[in-house]
Structures are given as structure tokens and as C-alpha cells.
Structure 1
Amino acid sequence: MFDHELNTAGYTEAPDHDVRSLRVRYCRLRTAGGEPIAELEAVSFRLRFGAVAVAAEGIGGVETQPEFRRQGHMSRLFRQALAGMAQRVDVGFVSDGIEGVYERFGFVTAAAEGRLVIPVRNVEQAVGADLGTAVPGIRTGSPEDLPAMVRLYNTAHAHRPWTHVRHAGWNRLVPQTTWQPGSQTLVLQAGSAVAGYAVLEGRAFGAPLHSLTVDELVAEDAPATRVLLTAIARLGWQRRLGECTVREPVDSLTGQVARQTGCTNKHNFPLSGGMMAAVLNRSSLIRTLEPELRRRAAGEQQDKAYDDAFDALRRGDLLPDDRALIRLLLGYWSVGDAIVHGLSIPEPYRDLCAAWFPGGGTQALPMPYAHGLDRY
């Protein structure tokens, strides 16, 4: 018999297990007879708010069986899953939210999709390279390069909001099969060390060579970045392409070097859906982020007035809208953006809030960015 009440007996959470270097917990609803109704995944990771990484969980793999759809079951499952998440972490995320769905649960779009479009000819002219010859130091990557790649990545994006902290055993490169394009890795070797790498979006067997996309390009310095961009431009030249796409933030080292060669920076700011976030425990999250907020406000006098403002922020007396707060904390909004969207900030707190929430892409806070290989 179907359990219309869907009480806690119909809700289960499976133990954590690893899925491609991420810890995953399955949350399920079943009928009284054990028949599956709906399921979602709660993915565990650590994610940065600037210089501080916090424990977080993300929602993924959301699915309802066809015969049970449009009956409110996913809403019930979602609320129970969020209640469980709130007992473990203070903030939740969605990598690719459906438009108009997650807002009802407190989530809000909080990161933009960005990419750099670089003309192949621009790179050739900027570096003075002959794209018909091999680029010195470039070789195909291997699993043995992953620890060095992780170190380079964490160093390059250490203070970037929305960035996952990659552990020593990280490996979310996409395996390649005949019909499924996987990751292709180029490595820049400098003596005995890896000086940079690029992960290319793979091409399925038989697919036309109509595009070239780089999922990540990270190097230890500007000269190494130019070498890697030259290697990418050479691949584009070999495929008779006029441009290539690099998925790196414009304020990164890769973005800075790409701007010197001439590129187009493209961002997509969806009204709803996309990369979303929600505050689950405001007071605890603010306490965890106190060192980061003090870092951002280093130019402001930190005295009793600061402590009073911090306590007001933690309690919700200051900036009570958690949806606006998560956007401000991650740098998706600056204080000026929030005011434009109707948020009111009391006069005594404005200078401090401007320091706390400068917006991404500033000297105090890099742009929030979610690299594709860490999404779930």
C-alpha cells in the first residue's frame, strides 16, 4: 500500500561512499512497500569563501520515478534532505539548478558562467611563435602528474570564492571511451618539475573538429602560461580553427595573459537556476568566516564597533535576507549591487559592509568561479 503521509519511515539516507573523489550520501523516498519514489544525492566537499574553506554539501542527481511525478514528493524529499544537511554543514550548493525550482528552498543563483575566447592568430602574433612547429616542454599528461596539478591549482586559486579545495588524491578527469569524450591533458615540463598544465575537453570518436575548449589552464607564472596558450593555439591551428575557448576566470593569471594577447571575456548571469547556494545555519557560518571577514576589512578599524556589527550580522539584525547574504559573501554581489537590488544598509554599517562585501574581481576578493571538473 502506498504511504501517502511519507513519514520518516519512508525516508532513508544511505551511508557515504566515494564517487569520483567526492563523498556522496543518497537520500531516498519509498512507498510503504519499499518501492522507490524519489532520490537525490548530497555531495560532501570543502568550498572556499576567499581565504577560508568551509565544509559544505551540494544537491545533485535529483530524480522522481515517472509514475510519482507532479505529486509533491520531491519537495518533501528535498526538505527532509536539507534538514539532514543542516545538521552537518552550514551552507548548501547546487552545481546546475533548474530554473524556477530551487528558489523555494532558499537557494539563489550565486556564480556566473565565464569563459575566455582567444583568437588563434592573436596568440601567434603575441608570442612570435611558429604554430607549425612543436612547442618545447609540452607533453601529454599522465596520472603521475595529478599531485603536481593539484598543487598548482590550489596555489593559483587559493583565495577564490566557490573554489573547491582539492585533496592529494583528487582525480576528476573524465575517462575517455569510444563514444564518450574524456579529458585530454597537456603538461609543461620544466626540468624535473611540472610548471603548468591544461585539461582539454575531449572529442568523441568521429566527432568533427569544429571547436577547441580548455576546461582548465593553470601555470606557476606568466611565461609558463604563455607557453601553454601557445600549445593550445597550435592545436587550434592544426584543426584549422580561428579561436579557442578557455574556461578560466578573467582575473586569474591565465586571464591576465590572455588579455595581453587579445581575447573576449564572456559571462552568463542567469536570472534563475545555474550555480546556486543557500545558507543553512547563518550564525555558525558567519562565525566560521570571521577570519575571512577580518581579512577583507583589514583597512577598517576593528574595535568594539566592528564587534557590534559582526554580532549584528551573525544574528541577522544586519542584512537579514540570507539570499542576499550568500551572494555578498561569495562576491557575486558587491554592496553597491545589493543596494541597486533594493537592500537597505544602515548608515553606521555602510563603510564596514563595503569592506566586507567588495564584490568579486577586486583586489580584496577574486571573482567567484566554479571550475567544471569540480562540479557534480
Structure 2
Amino acid sequence: MSDHEPGAGYTEVVGQEVRSLRVRYCRLRTDGGEPVAELEVVSFRQRFGAVAVAAEGIGGVETLPEFRRRGHMSRLLRRSLAGMAQRVDVAFVSDGIEGVYEKFGFVRAVSEGHLVVPVRNVERAAGRDLGAADPEVRSGSSDDLPAMIRLYNTAHTKRPWTHERHTGWNRLIPSTTWKPGSQTLVVRTDDAVVGYAVLEGRAFGDPLGSLTVDELVAEDAAAANRLLLAVARLCWQTRLSEFRVREPTDSLVGRVARSMGCTYQERFPPSGGMMAAILNRPELLRKLEPELRRRAAGRQPDDAYDAAWAVLRRGDLLPDDKALIRLLLGHWSIDDAYAHGVPIPGRYRDLCTAWFPGGGTPCLPIPYAHRLDRY
């Protein structure tokens, strides 16, 4: 489609899939066709607990130097968001400039966290020396991707912020001349893949001062132990004393690492990425009603529930969409909202507590943005 703003025309072009994501290019050009500014809109399905909804995210935002500081990026973002609102009900920003996206309704809605696992703890838990390799742990290949997708979707099926991975997904970092890309380990039992780890690639010439696992998913505790032991063995070979695993503490791998002894480092940056915005409140809540009913689990009679639901969807209850998106994703509990001055009438307090327990509860896992699904 095309439309004109003063000094620049707006277009949207649907491009080919890039690394398993469908991309739409939104651009401003001068009347003569000269590029002014561009951003990418990517399509995916994002989880709010047990329900996944269609969503789009903004990335690749750029204005050419000669056109900067003229308001073009604000115009481009407004037009792009208007187009997104015709297709989906919620938008995300994976990475961005601090202090920009708040103006367009976005708020930070997930924290950054990773496990720090001492090699000595893994060795002690295994009860054996790290020198001997596990014959059932090997380097992965593209043939293992279907099993990896299945394991990931099963492990994180109810985790807010998780992308629903489809057949053909491949967001592993490819090897280039100066960066070897993702290294994959898989563990097998009875000729089936029961766990995998994706190690972050290291640029050639980087000091061997750390080892980071972008993702580690296992079918059971035994497989998680074997993968952690394999990663610890790689650290032992290069004389590293600890390694990082980008997994939440309430995952199976997180629980296994906690039993060995580890720390969890978490950051809450105020802006700049991992942000979300509601575009169409009534429609988003309609799609998420099964998830909220799951969380409430019969906490109130149907007539009281239905009355509260109508008030929530209409916007009389929790009218601030910025607070609502944080609550829906589990970044906030209802107590967090209350602490930030969000008014909640007493007659709705019990039901809102059930709807919005916050991540890290039996009802709702911790929201987590896995590195390999960022754009």
C-alpha cells in the first residue's frame, strides 16, 4: 500500500522469509524514490501461557543520516503500527533504542536472566571425573532440528513470551568467516534425541574467558544432567571455572542446575528492548479468554466471572494497556500493579489475583525471551 506524508511516501512490501520469520518491509521514500527510512515487521506466534496468538515485531529500524532529526522515524513507526493493528492485536520490540518506543505504547515486559553454573559443582554432582566423554552426547546437525523443535515446544509450551516454533524452524546462528556460529550438542537415549544444547558462537581471536549456552532443553532430569556435564567438560578442557546457561530458573534445566548449586543473574532494564504493546484490547482479550479461565480455575461463580470479564474487556477494569500487557505476560503480578499505583476495585481483587499471578507461580511459568527467537 502507499500513502503520502509531507516530504515522504510510505510503502509496505512483503519480503521472503528470513531465518524462519516472515518479514514485511515498511519504508519512507522521497517523491523521487530516494530511500529515507526503513524498518522491518516480522510475524510469529507469541505465547501468553498456554495460548499462542498471532503477533508482529518491529526490528531493523534505520533512517539514513541525511534525513535524521526531521521526525521521519516517528511517522514511519506510526504508519507501521497502524498497519500492524489491521493484522494482529499485539506488537513487540526485541531490541531497540532506549526511550523511543514508550512514546508508541510499548513497555518493558520481560527481564533478562541466566544461570551461572560452577564446573566444580557439576563434577561433584556427577560423582565422577570430567575427563571421560559421554558416548551418547554428540555434535548436532540439521537432521536433529525436528526433535529439537519438539523438545522446545513441549518444555516451554505454557511459558509467556515463548515463540511457538513451527516445522522448518531454524534460527541457529550460521557460521561465517570470522564467527563460527552456533555449536549444537544432542543427547540420545534408545536412538532418540532426548535433549540438546546450543552453545553461543565465539568470534575467532576472542579470549577464552567464558562459555555461554544460548539454550539447553531436556526431556527429563537425566538428560539435563548429561548435557550440563558435557558443557562442564568443555569448560574443564579450556580451564574455565563456570559457564552460563540462558534458561529460566523454573525450567527443568533450571531446577537441575539449582540442585547442583548455581546462581541466577537477572536484569530489569527500563527500556530499549523486550517490550510489548497492545494494539486491539478487546480482540486480544477475546483470544486470551481460555488462558485467563485456566488461570482462574473456577475461582468464582460463572456469573461473577462473566461480569468481571466484560468490565476487563471493555477497559473499565485495568484501563491502562501498559499495565495490562505486563500482567497478561506475567512480568507483573496484581501486587506489582497495586504497588505501581494501578487501582483495582475490591470486588475484583480475588479474581484479578487469579488472572494475574505473575510469572514463577505454579499457574504461570516465568516469562522468558529465548535468545534464538529474537530478531
TM bracket, shorter-chain basis: over 0.9
In the alignment, structure 1 residue 40 sits paired with structure 2 residue 39: yes
Match of 2:331 in 1: 332
- SS of the residue aligned with 2:33? coil
Structure-2 separation of matches of 1:165 and 1:6? 40
Cα deviation 1:101-159 (Å, max 9, x = unaligned): 10000000000011000000000001112111112310000000000000000000000
Match of 1:5 in 2: 6
Contact 1:181 1:201 in 2 (8 A): no
- How far off its partner does 1:196 sit? 0.3
- How far off its partner does 1:225 sit? 0.3
- SS of the residue aligned with 1:179? coil
Match of 2:261 in 1: 262
Match of 1:58 in 2: 57
Structure-1 separation of matches of 2:183 and 2:294? 38
Match of 1:186 in 2: 185
- How far off its partner does 1:99 sit? 1.2
Structure-2 separation of matches of 1:361 and 1:203? 32
Structure-2 separation of matches of 1:16 and 1:292? 33
Match of 1:208 in 2: 207
- SS of the residue aligned with 2:164? coil
- SS of the residue aligned with 2:95? strand
Match of 2:75 in 1: 76
- SS of the residue aligned with 1:92? strand
- SS of the residue aligned with 2:14? coil
Structure-2 separation of matches of 1:296 and 1:101? 33
- How far off its partner does 1:299 sit? 4.1
- SS of the residue aligned with 2:186? strand
Amino acid at match of 1:305: A
Structure-1 separation of matches of 2:158 and 2:327? 15
- How far off its partner does 1:98 sit? 1.8
Structure-2 separation of matches of 1:304 and 1:96? 42
Contact 1:178 1:204 in 2 (8 A): no
Structure-1 separation of matches of 2:102 and 2:195? 39
- SS of the residue aligned with 1:81? helix
Cα deviation 1:54-87 (Å, max 9, x = unaligned): 0000000000000011110000000000000000
- How far off its partner does 1:202 sit? 1.2
Match of 2:113 in 1: 114
- How far off its partner does 1:189 sit? 1.2
- How far off its partner does 1:208 sit? 2.3
* More displaced stretch, 365-374 vs 130-139: 130-139
Matches for 1:188-337 after TM superposition, within 5 Å: 188-337=187-336
- Structure 1 gaps, min length 5: none
Contact 1:129 1:230 in 2 (8 A): no
Cα RMSD of the aligned pairs, angstroms, is 1.0
Structure-2 separation of matches of 1:178 and 1:211? 21
* More displaced stretch, 183-192 vs 301-310: 301-310
Match of 1:145 in 2: 144
Amino acid at match of 1:64: T
Cα deviation 1:148-206 (Å, max 9, x = unaligned): 00000000000000000000110010111221240000000112100100000012223
What TM-score, normalized to structure 1? 0.97
Amino acid at match of 1:373: L
- SS of the residue aligned with 1:135? coil
- Structure 2 gaps, min length 5: none
Amino acid at match of 2:337: A
Match of 1:162 in 2: 161
Structure-2 separation of matches of 1:206 and 1:99? 31
- What is the aligned-residue identity percentage? 73
Structure-2 separation of matches of 1:296 and 1:6? 50
Structure-1 separation of matches of 2:273 and 2:258? 26
Amino acid at match of 2:121: N
Match of 1:360 in 2: 359
Match of 2:14 in 1: 15
Structure-2 separation of matches of 1:6 and 1:13? 17
Structure-1 separation of matches of 2:246 and 2:313? 35
Structure-2 separation of matches of 1:347 and 1:131? 57
Number of aligned residue pairs: give it: 372
- How far off its partner does 1:6 sit? 4.3
Structure-2 separation of matches of 1:181 and 1:344? 51
Amino acid at match of 1:5: P
Structure-2 separation of matches of 1:308 and 1:4? 44
Structure-1 separation of matches of 2:307 and 2:46? 27
Contact 1:58 1:94 in 2 (8 A): yes
- How far off its partner does 1:97 sit? 2.7
**Inter-CA distance 274–129: structure 2 relative to 1 (3 Å threshold):** farther
Structure-2 separation of matches of 1:172 and 1:294? 33
Amino acid at match of 1:69: R
* More displaced stretch, 317-326 vs 304-313: 304-313
- How far off its partner does 1:96 sit? 1.4
